[in-house]
Structure 1
Amino acid sequence: MSATLRITCSRSNLQKVRDFVREHLVEEKLSAVTVNQVVLAVDEVVANFIIHANGEDESQFLDLELGVSPHRLDVEIVDQGETIFLPPSHQAPDLREYVRQGRKGGMGMTLVHRLMDDVSFFARDNHTVCHLSKRLP
């Protein structure tokens, strides 16, 4: 199964993204836990693209492609903007230090890395791509 969605870079489209992912994964009869994990991970990456890479510029687009095979789920999110947005290599933050400092935010990609089996960002044709994958039982 493969499904695609194009959205503009507006936070108002995050619900549409969550609904799209949930609908297609439920159709595949994946467990509720897996569905919720993937919805949360995709939502976080899409929100980062919308807010940090595109400054909520509604003239910019993101394309999502969701693919499910018998033992693997793949999600590709392509930022159609002209700016390459490659986050630095992921390093798990020191949670004690976060708590000590009273920090809010900045934990989203740590969560994505914990929920998915593989998370990669790369450039393709002058666009930023995030590929997420998860092994399925």
Structure 2
Amino acid sequence: MQDRIRISCSRQNLQQVRDFVRDFLLAGKRSEVIVNQVVLAVDEVVANFIIHANEEDSSQFLDLILVLVNHRLEIEIEDHGSNLFLPRGATPTPDLREYIRQGRRGGMGMALVSRIMDRVEFFERNSHTICHLTKELA
């Protein structure tokens, strides 16, 4: 099973992405818990591309490809913007108490994505940033 979608880099398209991922996984008869986790992870990565890599420039676009083979979900998010957005290294688990104490906002998303998904990889292909997410679905 495979599907794809292209969106412009606008926050207004995040709901479309969430619906796309949800519909794809529900068509594969996945549990609501798994569906919600994967939707959250994809939403976070796409939001980071839209906001941080493309500064919400709606003339730029992202391609999302979802592939489900047996019990393995592969997600590829390709950023067609002119800036490479390559987070480096493992995302540390933040100290939640310290975040709350400091009143910090943000910076937790990729740590959450790393906990939800089995693999999170960022790399460059043809001068575009690619995020590849993998999850084994039991």
Q: What interval of TM-score do these two structures reach, taking the shorter chain for normalisation? A: over 0.9
3-state SS in 2 of match to 1:74: strand
Q: Which residue of 2 aligns with 1:56?
A: 56
AA partner of residue 72 (structure 2) = R
TM-score (norm 2): 0.96
Q: Which residue of 2 aligns with 1:100?
A: 101
AA partner of residue 129 (structure 1) = I
Q: Which runs of 5+ in 1 are unaligned?
A: none
Could you tell me how far apart the structure 2 residues matched to 1:10 and 1:110 are? 23
Could you tell me how far apart the structure 2 residues matched to 1:136 and 1:16 are? 23
Identity %: 65
2:120 maps to 1:119:
yes
Could you tell me how far apart the structure 1 residues matched to 2:112 and 2:3 are? 24
Deviations 1:79-115 (A, max 9, x none): 0112110113222222232122111111011110111
Count how many residue pairs are aligned between Structure 1 and Structure 2: 137
Q: Which runs of 5+ in 2 are unaligned?
A: none
Task: Give the deviation of 1:2 after TM superposition.
Answer: 0.6
Q: Which moved more, 1:36-45 or 1:81-90?
A: 81-90
Q: Which moved more, 1:89-98 or 1:99-108?
A: 89-98
3-state SS in 1 of match to 2:14: helix
